[in-house]
Chains A and B, each alone.
Chain A
Amino acid sequence: MSWTEDQPMVSVRDVHKSFGELEVLKGVSLDVMKGEVICIIGPSGSGKSTLIRCINALNDIQQGSILVEGIEVHDKHLDKLELRKKVGMVFQQYNLFPHKTALENVMMAPIRVLKENKDDVEKSARALIKKVRLEGKENSYPGELSGGQQQRVAIARSLAMKPDVILFDEVTAALDPETVNEVLVTIKDLAEEGMTCILVTHEMGFAREVADHIYFTDRGVIVEHGKPATFFDEAKDPRTKEFLSQIL
């Protein structure tokens, strides 16, 4: 089966996921078209991280289907490398490689995983560092950078693999308030360039501004979803209303 652009780039169908006895996802479905930005919001522990980690097979699922450009992720014979070339991920704690400089962090995967030519990789890595506004920090180690700077390196590192979709898991949650914005601006730039993004976030203003679609999760199910305007102003489910009233 071959995927075409009029089909969802990511299609999650009735996904169930348990950690032992604990069922964390109880039948979740969502679709993301190419170029779309979707935001997943919801209380802590509702399964948001688990859901997006299932999309790039960092977690396995027990039931349901996840298609990424037609590749079935819920498959014993999944070619993980093929999947991970398509799906990038940025983590809450940045997770940079501490023994590599900012530039090396960005260059490493294209060289090792994609086996690209080192000089070409360095050129595009420098361009990516510039794109995330970190010119001059190429030779700094992660330990020498602020949280916001590290997170932007992490975004550049993910972009270096030229993914078709990027997963962002609360990427500003660990940051000092004054550096949150520099990371959000970077993500917004990406969204405007047409990058497909799946974001877990608590930044409601940001979600409203950049998202094409908002999903609200609670205890392993999607309670409500819709376009930002309708979602934020005309939420119907009492759980959504309660959550929004607490956070806004």
Chain B
Amino acid sequence: MEAFFEWFKVLYDETGINLPFIYDSYDRGRMLDGLWMTIKLSVVCLFFSVVIGVIGAWLQGSAYTWTRRFVNGYIQLFRNTPPLVQLYFFYFAIGSLLPRVATEFGGEAPLLGNFAWAVISLSFFAGAFNVEIFRSGIEAVPESTVEAAEALGFSRLQIYKDITLPLAFRVILPALNNNLVNLVKTTTLAYAIAVPEMLYEANQIWSDNVNVTEMMIFLLIAYFVLVGVLVWGMNRWERAMKIPGYGA
């Protein structure tokens, strides 16, 4: 392993291609932290955005006009504004309104840190699209199938959970896939509020080493691989969910 790291040092000496995040243990640590933070941010936001999508689509079917209006307002707001502005809004506008709490070191800290705000903001952003995606899937479930469940005594919630969602899921996986890929890419915005994710750490490294070109190429490849893994997983899931004799 050491020899491997050394080789990159030699590469730098011989050619000037500088990849300190491989040969330098401090930079390597920063880069791995960044990668890990990006993965963590992506997974947490993926989870919450899907939860928001499922609950939002359920609320859209509510009998109460105001509930439906509220959900539609939320979707419009988050679809029609830039995610970076949303992030700033949450972090600076809402964040400053929240009370500060005492830390164990006797100082004061904001109630929610920048990671938490990034999660909230990005989850709501992707969640708005997910609500629409889930709704389109729900609308594709035949009314007659839902009626059969009603006639068997299923409640509205049971129908949603056992019939509508599982069937809708199969219809929407490609669209969901797309949106979740977008979400992973959008996590780079967290850079703007200093969440130490991959882009942020890469920036730190190129500031110290003046190797912007190398870092940019690396970032491009790293995100390409990261999103590739997600797409591969989603495609496998799509295939595993296929019902014999049903759909295309």
Contacts and interface: CB of A to CB of B under 8 A. Distances in A.
A95 B153 contact: no
Contacts of B155: 81
Interface string A154-165: 100110010000
Interface stretch (B109-117, B144-152, B203-211): B144-152
B152 to A, nearest CB: 4
B243 A96 contact: no
A99 B153 contact: no
B244 A144 contact: yes
Interface in A130-153: 140-145
Nearest to A82: B153
Given A95-B144, A98-B167, A161 B243 contact: no
A108 B162 CA distance: 9
A96 B148 contact: yes
A13 interface: no
B28 to A, nearest CB: 47
Interface in B117-132: none
Nearest to B146: A95
A85 B245 CA distance: 31
Given A108-B162, A144-B245, A58 B152 contact: no
A81 B153 contact: yes
A113 B150 CA distance: 10
A141 B154 CA distance: 21
Among B150, B151, B162, max chain A CB count under 10 A is at B151
A95 to B, nearest CB: 4
A184 interface: no
B152 A143 contact: no
B245 A88 contact: no
A157 B245 CA distance: 20
Nearest to A108: B162
Nearest to B143: A95
Nearest to B163: A97
B144 A93 contact: yes
A89 B154 contact: no
A83 to B, nearest CB: 8
Contacts of B79: none
Contacts of A114: 153
Interface string A123-135: 0000000000000
Contacts of B147: 58, 91, 95
Contacts of B245: 141-145
Nearest to A88: B151
Contacts of A109: 152-154
B154 A99 contact: no
Contacts, number: 72
Given A96-B148, A97-B149, A113 B244 contact: no
A84 interface: yes
Size category of the B interface is 20 to 34
A87 B153 CA distance: 9
A108 B153 CA distance: 11
Nearest to A112: B158
B244 A112 contact: no
A140 B167 CA distance: 17
A86 B24 CA distance: 74
A113 B153 CA distance: 6
A99 B167 CA distance: 7
Nearest to A94: B148
Nearest to B245: A143
B148 A91 contact: yes
Interface string B96-115: 00000000000000000000
Interface in B192-248: 243-246
A89 B150 CA distance: 10
A161 B167 contact: no
22 contacts: A58-B151, A80-B153, A81-B155, A84-B150, A85-B153, A87-B151, A88-B151, A89-B148, A91-B144, A93-B144, A95-B145, A99-B167, A108-B152, A109-B152, A112-B162, A141-B243, A142-B245, A143-B246, A145-B245, A158-B152, A161-B152, A161-B153
Return the 6 tightest CB-CB contacts between A and B, nearest first. A143-B245, A95-B148, A84-B153, A109-B152, A113-B153, A89-B151
Interface of A: 56, 58, 80-81, 84-85, 87-89, 91, 93, 95-99, 108-109, 112-114, 140-145, 154, 157-158, 161
